[in-house]
Amino acid sequence: MSYFHETIWKGVPKFLRRVDTALKNIGINERIPYSAPVIQFSSWMGGDRDGNPRVTPEVTRDVCLLARMMAANLYFSQIEDLMFELSMWRCSDELRACVDELLRSSKSDAKHYIEFWKQVPPNEPYRVILGDVRDKLYNTRERARQLLANGTSEVPEETTFTNVEQFLEPLELCYRSLCACGDQPVADGSLLDFLRQVSTFGLSLVRLDIRQESDRHTDVMDAITKHLEIGSYREWSEERRQQWLLSELSGKRPLFGPDLLKTEEITDVLETFHVIAELPSDSFGAYIISMATTASDVLAVELLQRECHVKQPLRVVPLFEKLADLEAAPAAVSCLFSIDWYRNRINGKQEVMIGYSDSGKDAGRLSAAWALYKAQEELIKVAKKFGVKLTMFHGRGGTVGRGGGPTHLAILSQPPDTIHGSLRVTVQGEVIEQSFGEEHLCFRTLQRFTAATLEHGMHPPVSPKPEWRALMDEMAVIATKEYRSIVFQEPRFVEYFRSATPELEYGRMNIGSRPSKRKPSGGIESLRAIPWIFAWTQTRFHLPVWLGFGGAFKHVIEKDPKNLQMLRDMYNQWPFFRVTLDLVEMVFAKGDPGIAALYDNLLVSKELLPFGESLKSKYEETKSLLLQVAGHKDLLEGDPYLKQRLRIRDSHITTLNVLQAYTLKRIRNPDYNVNLKPHLSKDYAESTKPAAELVKLNPKSEYAPGLEDTLILTMKGIAAGMQNTG
């Protein structure tokens, strides 16, 4: 929330002014209409359940009310500035009639306003109109505050703004009146900025997306069909599920009453829908189904929305994540679009989300990137066939292993025809600070997204040649095979991963916003993508990013040496392939197998050391093959600026790595001692306090004093040093 408050709120109108200026500079004397927001924001904070037990229906409700209260407060603090500016008496007849009506019906209630503003003179018409807006904003804020604190409010709803149209109406009236009286430069000042803020942020500040796993909806449906004594939904075929869901969606009977047998999980799902039904519809964005695979996953959510009396149902967005799901996505979406009921419901618009993190964890970066590329192409074809406008929602992480990378390049490397002037992208928790932490960063981020989206539409990237596609298909099969043979099939891998990286400690510390695993008992497949990537980043080995590339390159080059030239052509002519390889090259420039060897020697058992060595030789082989394909002698030779920045950082990160490796050794082996002479300041050395008293940093830690804090500081420092640059 603080990012909206500190930078985005003022950043959006400032950015739109820059766009207006850019248009003027090329001879277009029209402003971007405030009624068509260029950029809109949604959030998952407090709505993303996906395996997170801490996000309860109560949390969702509180987050929405808090956002509404903040929005009203931000508008309220600006409305008096606007009243101060618009002191003129000349106005249009339309505005004068509205002022007369307000003066006739107004009750004098000066609230807690500054003395200067308690009485608005009737001969200052704009101030009269804006004074009424101010009163309603005051009530809107107070109502949200009371609902948040007590669950009830004494402020009557009719004295507040309940929808954004009500809020825009008086502001638009002032704008029209100023233009009619020849005061357009005044109208295009703070008032235009204010109108743009209202159009962008509405009354809810930021719309909340709800995300839940498809399995949880299946559990609810299963409980309902058993309650109705018509069988087990879980065991039905996809065809039977669709048939039943559609017959219920077409009918009107309620499916269950209070006597439905509910587990804690089922209650949680249904309560979430009740919260959606209870709160104003503009509080919410999309309902995202993670691990979606079939059309029935979407229809089940539609039915639950109707069953829980959601008056304006949220748009339902399937999220396809794993390799097999991405391959099956076009067929699932085609099946959805061929259902008449569903086509009528969506009104020609559909959003589909694709997951970069889990696909990378499932199949490796090369295969995942190619699967995501092909899935988008196929989904667009399906949408065109049914006449539906498809918006792709890119679930990118901050790190390269989770689909991250420089925004501009990432957008420009998308397949042709997949953006069409609109796309949605996640800005994940680990990179919000570097995208929106300060005003100039916020401005640059908005600029990058807008510029790249426009450029993609005006100069679409080239489509790959058929022979390039065939080679990519062949490489993807080999890459997936090599990746899975090590990550999922090698019996020593899990033990090595847990010893050689800080993954276990990371999961136990109070550092993440949700549990590190979806299911506490599972192995690598249930581990979330963030700790999976994060753990390897800490040791500078970055295994999830590069594993699979080397095997794929080696296979196709050995099969036919001419393929090396084809790979070079692909690198030079095809933006998607170039960006994919450049990002891996950047990761190699940040990696250091020598540091990974230090972790191995300190933390890994003797039996597993040879396995670690074999992975390091794969690392070196992949690096030399990558340079060969890119036609580079050294890493980052095409980007000396970045190379220099990484060189400056290196000594700092290496120091943190050494500290972290020894700290992990002490945590895992309490008897291990390192003879270090700490450098203490003169004040500390002369103080009479015992050392134990000086190290009361985290009294709740299960580790020896200071160790957990050292670990967290090194983790954050290394993560910052490894962050994507460029």
Which tens digit of pLDDT belongs to each residue from 551-602?
Answer: 999 999 999 999 999 999 999 999 999 999 999 999 999 999 999 999 999 9
Better pLDDT: 260 or 386: 386
* pLDDT of 399 strictly over 80: no
Residue 176: CA count within 13 A, CB half-sphere: 11
| 195 close to 175: Cβ distance less than 8 angstroms | yes
pLDDT tops 50 at residue 206: yes
Give the confidence band of 726 by pLDDT, cuts at 50, 70, 90. very low
212 has which bridge partners?
Answer: 289
Beta bridge partners of 213: 290
Lowest mean pLDDT among 10-24, 183-197, 202-216, 425-439: 425-439
**In angstroms, rounded to a whole number, what is the distance separating the alpha carbons of residues 509 and 538?**
15
Regarding predicted confidence, which is higher, 234 or 672?
A: 234
Between 81-85, 254-258, 519-523, the lowest mean confidence (pLDDT) is in 519-523
- Residue 301 burial by CB count (10 A; 0-12/13-18/19+): exposed, middle or buried? buried
What is this structure's pTM?
0.90
- CB 276, CB 309: distance < 8 Å: no
Give the whole-number percent of the chain exceeding pLDDT 90.
Answer: 71
**Average pLDDT of the chain, as a whole number:** 89
* Cβ neighbours of residue 19 closer than 8 Å, sequence gap 6 or more: 32, 38, 450
Of the pLDDT bands very low, low, confident and very high (cuts 50, 70, 90), residue 461 is: confident
Separation between Cα atoms, residue 251 and residue 261, nearest integer Å: 23
pLDDT at 353: 95
> What is the per-residue pLDDT for 721?
87
Q: Does residue 291 carry a pLDDT above 60?
A: yes
Give 412 or 546, the one with higher predicted confidence.
546
d(CA 551, CA 555): 6
The CA distances from residue 700 to 508, 616, 706, in Å, are: 12, 38, 11
Task: Tell me the C-alpha distance between 267 and 262, whole Å.
Answer: 6
Residue 691 has pLDDT above 80, yes or no: no
Distance CA 289, CA 423 (A): 18
Instruction: Identify the pLDDT of residue 110.
Output: 59
Angle between helices 323-337 and 356-363 (to 10 degrees): 130
Q: State what percent of residues in the chain have pLDDT above 70.
A: 90
Residue 688's pLDDT band, with cuts at 50, 70 and 90, is: low
Say how far apart CA 130 and CA 108 lie, in whole Å: 15
Cα 462 from Cα 469, distance rounded (Å) = 13
Q: For residue 24, indicate whether it is catalytic.
A: no
More confident residue, 166 or 434: 166
Say how far apart CA 643 and CA 307 lie, in whole Å. 57
Helix (H, G, I), strand (E, B) or coil at 202: coil
Helix (H) or strand (E) holding 667: helix 640-668
Mean predicted confidence (pLDDT) in 104-114:
69
Separation between Cα atoms, residue 698 and residue 701, nearest integer Å: 6
Please tell me the distance from the alpha carbon of residue 246 to that of residue 165, in angstroms, as a whole number: 34
Mean pLDDT of 704-717: 86
What's the burial of 119, exposed, middle or buried (CB within 10 Å: 0-12/13-18/19+)? exposed
Given the residues 136, 322, 361, 623, select the one marked as catalytic: 361
HEC string for 529-555: HHHHHHHHHHCCCCHHHHCCHHHHHHH
Tell me: the pLDDT tens digits for 65-88?
Answer: 999 999 999 999 999 899 989 999
pLDDT for residue 413? 85
C-beta of residue 479 within 8 angstroms of C-beta of residue 366: yes
Cβ count within 10 A of residue 46: 22
The C-alpha atoms of residue 331 and residue 336 are separated, in whole angstroms, by 9
- Residue 504: pLDDT over 90: no
